[in-house]
Structure 1
Amino acid sequence: MPPGPDTLRLLALIGRHGSLAAAAQALGLTPAAVTQQLARAERDCRAPLVRRGPRGASLTEAGMMLAEHGRVVDEAAASATAALDGLLGRLSLRLRIGAFQAAALRLLPPALTALRHRYPDTDLSIMDITSDRGVDAVAAGEMDVAVIAAWDQPPVPPGHVRLHPLLIDPMVAVLPDDHPLARDAAAPAIDLGSLRDEAWVTIRAGHAARAQFDRAAAAAGFVPRVRFETESYDVAQAFVATGVAVALVSRLALSRLPGTVHRELTGSGLSRSIHAVTLAEHGVTPMVATFLRLLHDVTGDLTASWPGTSAAGTD
């Protein structure tokens, strides 16, 4: 049987220190364990590898040849250890974040500001993503944290990925500021059915947000007359500002454009849930836990002023 890396390292250390006891100490083994390992190696190699004497130990010609390879193994191990230490040092400061647009605009800036004040050397990278990419990106190791939105039911992540609830983001009606319901300041909340005759700008068909809206409209007894479809709440609000339609927009995505007014919805239950996605174990990237705490702080402050809405509890 050819000698393995442990045997090669042992011979290199015996050659360097001149004794089995010193080699055992360097390896963190007992002298008896080293003696047994050496005896097995000599049987496997069918040749003596070490000469034992009253003043220590020296290598035979075969032992010296193998020890040369052992020094290569030792140098490679030292290089690997240094590289790992460097990597872990970088990982301790690394934070790769992905977030959908409304979260990137409303949640990330205050959390990142607080993070940079506490840890100015943090190695940050931020990517604008769609919510359906978040779980897969974290699972594949492309991101450390993804902030995603989910309608109805959140995604079910693989076992090594965890979802952290951040907040419930209710839908609100956005109306042109000259709409009769917008002018009625005494009615800050409206029923979805009161908008049955309106033209709508909605999220594009096939999206979970659109499916949720269509179900709510059916429950309210009408089929919405859709004038425009978009994938952006910002675009929807821009169209509402022209006066040509009304829209449902998540409160987090409200841009409060001139020419628009928003109203709470009574009894609709229309909302989306916002989650942070991380690996279940992120010990080598401690900034993840720190950033999660900051996100919870931000969502708590943000939702404190939302009627009937609160941030999700920390986990």
Structure 2
Amino acid sequence: MNVLPQASGATLYVVATPIGNLADITERARQVLSAVDLIACEDTRHTQKLLQHLGVRKPLVSVHDHNERDRIGQIANYLQNGQSLALVSDAGTPLISDPGYPLVQALRGQGFNVVPIPGPSALITALSAAGLPTDRFAFEGFLPHKSGPRRERLQDVAADPRTLVFYEAKHRILDTLQDMADIFGPERHGVVARELTKTFETFYSGNLTELVAAISADDDQQKGEFVVMVAGNPAPAAATEIDTDRLFRLLLAELPPKKAAAIIADLTGENKKALYQRALEIQGKSAGA
């Protein structure tokens, strides 16, 4: 079986790795990691443990948030020389709230082949067992660390009808849940997934006030890695319909037709010329009345 379809190399494989349970490694990921010439990873020590588990020995090069752009030229040189590489993060699928986007973007721009090797992702794993709607959802990644910007971001998505998904760290989980209760409302339903696929995997479900109380009650439940999912706004504000004819009659009492049409065009997004013609019609009817 040829696990590397481009036998000559010069390919970057974006490889998903387990998010906790090492048994979740896919057979294809195992084969690719065994076959490539080099592995680019977020933390060489972390990846070395995975490779030891798989019985794989490969040269490693670190690619993380602080050096990723500096590594682009180096990785491109490897590919230019016909070598094949795998890109992995510490856990899950690279680029999904993990390093890799600038590298993949640059290499694709230079014409190199980039091949995804799908597998675990905390985002999809959490959604699959949360019991929240998954036909439409919005992934927001990590929220800002500070309360002010975090609350602003939450306010931006408060009216979104889709299920909202966030990643959060242990030292901010309670503050984030409390901010969500304040912004989304205490009765909004949510699910918190903790330590997915690991020994102490836990799902909490309830309204946001209940989630704050449940996690506050046990210090042990404030440890680990979290995926926070919140039901979408159950009753998003409906767009207000504007009675343009009535608005025209009010505006035309004080403004010329062209100015009135311009104001209504700004409000409704309708065509300004068509509105101007409508203004003349309404003005003519009013004058003839």
Measured against the shorter chain, the TM-score band is: under 0.3
Q: Could you tell me the TM-score, scaled by structure 2's length?
A: 0.27
CA radius of gyration, larger in: 1
Greater per-residue strand proportion: 1
More relative contact order in 1 or in 2 (CA 8 Å, sep 6+)? 1
